[in-house]
Amino acid sequence: MGRIATIIYAAIGIPLCLIVLADVGKLFTRAIKFVYAFFRSFYYTARCQQPRKPVSSQGADVSPTSSMLKPEEQSEPDSNLYHGYLVDDEFNLPIPVAIVIVIAYIFIGAALYRLWEDWTYLEAFYFIFVSISTIGFGDILPEHPKYFLISSIYIFIGLALVSMFINVAMEFMEDTLNKAKKKMSKEIHMKGENNKQRTKEENETVDASHAATSSDTDEASSSPLKRRK
């Protein structure tokens, strides 16, 4: 009965945990966008430059709201606009920012675990990586009970960050694929138009040559009649 109860508990608890992690990941995304917008504005202000506009999936510069809002919402003022950057819970962060945040979180945690436990830095890094990546071999475990609660909170936050990073990577890959598809369809359309234009020019050339040939034939047939007259 204990194993059956464990299976039922896990079947209910794992989806709930994933939902909570997704929601926490959205909150982290909003907070990171807020900080990113502040440093982005500070960077361009220090260099006396205007912040660059976000780039749409077509590769054109657009306003911060037009690339992230629905057409019917673009005319309305957005209270989530901060220093010219839309701060929402969409997973459209720059992927280098997400990578740096996750790696920095692991390095900082490894330094803390090295102080808490009798581990090397590599062992601490390994424990955090296998924990927040849900690999969980269990070959290295914390030994001090007084740090279990802090460890649980740290790993939970790490799982939320990894969830955020995965969603950002998926969004990045989806945008990249959409750009590639649009580029390919545009090239195919241009090739089709070029082929049509080439075929049209060839047909016009053939028609012109036929017209010239027929006119020469008419002149050749009419010349004997003129001589007889």
Q: Is the pLDDT of residue 10 over 70?
A: yes
pLDDT band at 106 (very low <50, low <70, confident <90, very high): very high
Please compute the mean of the pLDDT values over residues 25-48 and round it to a whole number. Answer: 72
Three-class secondary structure of residue 81 per DSSP: strand
Structure confidence at residue 55 (pLDDT):
44
pLDDT band at 16 (very low <50, low <70, confident <90, very high): confident
| Cβ-based neighbour number of residue 78 at 10 Å | 15
185: exposed, middle or buried (C-beta count within 10 Å: 0-12, 13-18, 19+)?
A: exposed
Token look-up 């006119």 returns 215
Three-class secondary structure of residue 85 per DSSP: strand
Lowest mean pLDDT among 85-89, 133-137, 154-158: 85-89
Say what the pTM is.
0.60
Structure confidence at residue 105 (pLDDT):
93
For residue 163 the two structure tokens come to 């969830």
For residue 180 the two structure tokens come to 């590639």
Range with top average pLDDT, 20-24, 41-45, 50-54, 220-224: 20-24
Q: Is the pLDDT of residue 107 over 90?
A: yes
Question: Is the Cβ–Cβ distance between 31 and 97 less than 8 Å?
Answer: no
Using alpha carbons, select from 50, 35, 37 the residue that is nearest to residue 81.
37
Greater confidence (196 vs 63) lies with 196
| Intra-chain end-to-end CA distance of the chain, in Å | 121
180: exposed, middle or buried (C-beta count within 10 Å: 0-12, 13-18, 19+)?
A: exposed
Work out whether strand 81-82 and strand 85-86 pair parallel, antiparallel, or are unpaired. Answer: antiparallel
